[in-house]
Structure 1
Amino acid sequence: MAYLPISTPGEVGGPDGHSYGALVLMTDAADPAALQRVLRVIRFTGWLAPARSGTQVVIGDPGAGVVAAQRRGIIEVGAVVAEQLDCGVLAVRVRRDRQLGLVAWQGGREIGRYDSDPSAEPGADDDIAADPVGVAAAPEFAALAGVPEESETLTEILDEELERDSVSESERLRGVLRLLSLPDWIVAAASLPRDIPTGPRAADLVRLRVGTPGAQGIWRDLAVRRLRRRWTPPAVIADPPRESGQGMEGIEPWMF
């Protein structure tokens, strides 16, 4: 699998890389009104893209942060949407192009969870292992997207060790989305509120602020946005593996 170079200073995301989160709803009978009702209840902030080719994309704002009530990030929003609408949902979250999270549900049942690097979570302990977790969920991701025959290739992509100086997690995600025949313009979602390169125009998206469209949402968002930016959503993996043999644990002082 070939990847493109990591973003450089001056591109969207800047030198720290891109941060964004999105949901892909797997449904041929997308009901935008029902989706908006669910998002209104949880006071979601972000964008809804037009439904196309049996999928509906929801993008969180801000990026990989808290985007809904009860300190929900895009992954927690995905769990609510999947259960309430009884559909398949894939949540993707990229943090500064150094961490990719994928979580999938079929209705109210979670079927797979992947984290490319648990040690990249904000506030992660120094002994958290940097190895990917959840690679074994690749068959579930592929089946959800309707391409179970791609599970072996997807496993290779998720398990690949990237050259951090030249390759970003957005490129890994692009490979995942293309393999699963899902909208790969999601990797440029950090360009919002400007138009998304290769994706829908910003004017074609439904903008929600704390669950409300239009001017009313703008006023409601003023106070909520400042508060949410102080918070960090839950980690992709709640209890990630730790490195063995870290530090001086188990060594008695007299041994020196």
Structure 2
Amino acid sequence: MVLPPVSPGMSADIGGPDGHSYGAVLLRSEASHPIAASGADAAPDVAGILHGLRFSGWVAPPDRGWTVILGDPGAGVVARGRRGIVEVAGAIAAAVAGPVVAVQVRRDRQLGIVAWLDGVEIARYCSDPSVEPGADREVLSDPVGEDDAEALATALGRSAAAEDLRALLAEELDPDSVFESERLRSVLRVMGMPEWLVAAGSLPHDIPTGPRAAELTRLRAGETGPAALAAHGLIKKGRRRHAPPPIIDDPPRQNDGGMDPWLL
């Protein structure tokens, strides 16, 4: 399956020539009500997790049966304990039934997808482990985890689209013409998830094709309202000094097996 190239008119939506970094957690709306500013309508498990983790980001109203939790724009630390969006999703997945999916885009050059079903991890994909901060020159750029497409599609009730999903995840993209946001947009479409996620980097402004900023609940270090502003400034500054764990802990390397793959 060949992905369409990015057209000039699309660049503003998906990050432009430099590319955006962003991440989100998606879970079934019936598993978590939208988190209201007052907290009164929040599902105690998810709201409590976000508060306990001192999560910073936004919670969107339900869309197409999904609740979307967006990390502060970037692919860095969004919660205490140097947690990125994937680790936040894992904490939520351990507390709710049904599927939970984390998606992360780094500078539009890397797409990560991790999914759980009833608290059990079922899929972990990274389009290019070599883009991770701190990855050395031995880490290969080949995708890892595309074979998890069937488990992911089945968990989301889209088993008929498993082959299409696998082809999307395995596709080798030309970084000069196609961004990873385009791959993610196609994945979201195939899986029946909100496609406006690819424009999440526009926050704190309105999300093109998605919810307006005023419709989102803003969380700063797990808190809402003006009182959270002062403390969040210091926390955010500290988090920027760290990177969350890589999506793939032990990625394939050129010297695996004692032979340079270019010689095979």
TM-score when normalising by structure 2: 0.88
Aligned pairs for 1:176-195 within 5 A: 176-195=187-206
Between the aligned partners of 2:151 and 2:240, the Cα distance in structure 1 is 33
Q: How far has the Cα of 1:202 moved from its partner?
A: 0.5
Going from structure 1 to structure 2, the CA distance change for 1:29 and 1:122 (only over 3 Å counts) comes to: closer
Is the 8 Å Cα contact of residues 129 and 143 (structure 2) preserved in structure 1? yes
The answer to whether the aligner puts 1:101 opposite 2:112 as a matched pair is yes
Write out aligned runs for 1:15-34 (5 A): 15-32=17-34, 33-34=42-43
Q: CA deviation at 1:162?
A: 0.5
| 2:67 paired with 1:56 | yes
Question: What's the CA shift string for 1:6-26, capped at 9, x where partnerless?
Answer: 779x94745421100001102
Which residue is equivalent to 2:3? 2
Are residue 147 (structure 1) and residue 158 (structure 2) matched?
yes
Aligned to 2:79: 68
Aligned-partner Cα distance in 2 for 1:164–1:19: 15
Q: Distance in 1 between matches of 2:135 and 2:8?
A: 24
Query: Which residue of structure 2 lines up, in the alignment, with residue 223 of structure 1?
Result: 234
Deviations 1:91-145 (A, max 9, x none): 0000000000000011221111000000010110101011000011001121222
Q: Residues 210-239 of structure 1: CA distance to partner in whole angstroms, max 9, x if unpaired? A: 000001211220110000011101000000
Q: Report the number of matched residues.
A: 246
3-state DSSP class of the match of 2:104? strand
The aligned runs of 1:199-210 (5 Å cut-off) are 199-210=210-221
CA distance in 2, matches of 1:24, 1:67: 16
Deviation of residue 52 (structure 1)? 2.5
1:175 to 175, 182, 186: 186
User: How far is the alpha carbon of 1:63 from its aligned partner?
Assistant: 1.7
Q: Does 1:126 align with 2:126?
A: no
Change in 2 beyond 3 A, CA 1:79/1:6: farther
Identity of aligned residues (%): 51
Q: Specify every segment of 5 or more residues in structure 2 that has no aligned partner in the other structure, as ranges.
A: 35-41
CA displacement at 1:164 relative to structure 2: 1.1
Runs of 5+ in structure 1 lacking a partner?
Answer: 248-256
Asked whether the equivalents of residues 6 and 167 of structure 1 are also in contact (C-alpha less than 8 Å), the reply is no
| 1:92 corresponds to | 103
**What CA distance in whole angstroms lies between the structure 1 residues aligned with 2:235 and 2:31?**
32
Q: TM-score, normalized by length of structure 1? A: 0.91
Q: Is the 8 A contact 2:3 2:183 kept in 1?
A: no
Q: Secondary structure at the match of 1:84?
A: coil
Quote the RMSD (CA, aligned, Å).
Answer: 1.8
Structure 2 distance, partners of 1:75, 1:199, is 22
Q: 1:42 matched to which residue of 2?
A: 53
SS in 1 for 2:186: helix
